[in-house]
A and B are shown apart, each in its own frame.
Chain A
Amino acid sequence: MSVHSLSPAFPTAAARMNRIDQRFAELKAAGRTGLIPFVTAGDPRADIESNLAVLRALVDAGADLVELGMPFSDPMADGPAIQRASERALARRVGLTRVLEIVRAFRAGDARTPLVLMGYLNPIEIRGVAGFADEAAAAGVDGLLLVDAPQDDEALLALLQDRRLHLIRLVAPTTGPERMRALARRAGGFLYFVSMAGTTGAARVDAGAIEAQVVALRHMAPVPVAVGFGIKDAESARAVAHCADAVVIGSALVDHLARAADAAEAAQLAAQFIAPIRTALDARQAA
Chain B
Amino acid sequence: MRSTVKPLRKTGTEIDFHAYPDAQGRFGDYGGVYVAETLIAPLHELTETYLRLRDDPAFQAELERDLKHYVGRPSPIYHAARLSREVGGARILLKREDLNHTGAHKINNTVGQAMVAKRMGKTRIIAETGAGQHGVASATVAARLGLQCVVYMGETDIARQAINVYRMKLLGAAVVPVSAGSKTLKDALNEALRDWVTNVRDTFYIIGTVAGPHPYPMMVRDFNAVVGREARAQMLDEYGRLPDAITACVGGGSNAIGLFHAFLNDRDVRIVGAEAAGEGIASGHHAASLAAGRPGVLHGNRTYVLCDDDGQITETHSISAGLDYPGVGPEHAFLKDAGRAQYVGVTDAEAMQAFHLLARTEGILAALESAHAVAQAVRLARELPRDGIVLCNLSGRGDKDVHTIAAREGITL
Contact = CB atoms under 8 A, between A and B. Distances in A.
Interface string B40-79: 1110000000000000000000000000000000000000
Contacts of B42: 174
Interface in A20-66: none
B296 A126 contact: yes
Contacts of A125: 1-2, 295-297, 311
Contact of A150 (B34, B187, B296): B34
A28 to B, nearest CB: 25
Interface residues of A, number: 47
A228 B150 CA distance: 28
A126 B313 contact: no
Interface residues on B, range: 35 or more
Nearest to A96: B310
B87 interface: no
B194 interface: yes
Contacts, number: 129
Interface of B: 1-4, 32-42, 180-181, 186-187, 189-190, 193-194, 197-201, 294-300, 305, 307, 309-313
Interface in A171-214: 171-176, 179, 194, 197-199, 202
Interface stretch (A76-84, A232-240, A261-269, A272-280): A76-84
Contact of A95 (B35, B201, B312): B312
B311 A127 contact: yes
Interface string A154-172: 0110010000000001111
A175 B35 contact: no
Among all A-B residue pairs, the 8 with the closest Cβ atoms = A123-B311, A95-B310, A156-B1, A126-B311, A172-B38, A77-B36, A198-B198, A170-B37
B198 A199 contact: yes
A159 B33 CA distance: 20
Given A76-B190, A79-B194, A123-B311, A179 B40 contact: yes
Contacts of A171: 37
Contacts of A139: none
24 contacts: A73-B313, A74-B298, A77-B194, A77-B197, A95-B311, A96-B311, A120-B297, A122-B305, A123-B311, A126-B307, A126-B309, A126-B311, A127-B311, A148-B297, A149-B34, A156-B1, A170-B37, A171-B37, A174-B37, A174-B38, A194-B36, A197-B201, A198-B197, A202-B198
A193 to B, nearest CB: 10
Contacts of A126: 294, 296, 307, 309-311
B154 to A, nearest CB: 13
Given A122-B296, A125-B296, A126-B307, A148 B313 contact: no
A72 interface: yes
A135 interface: no
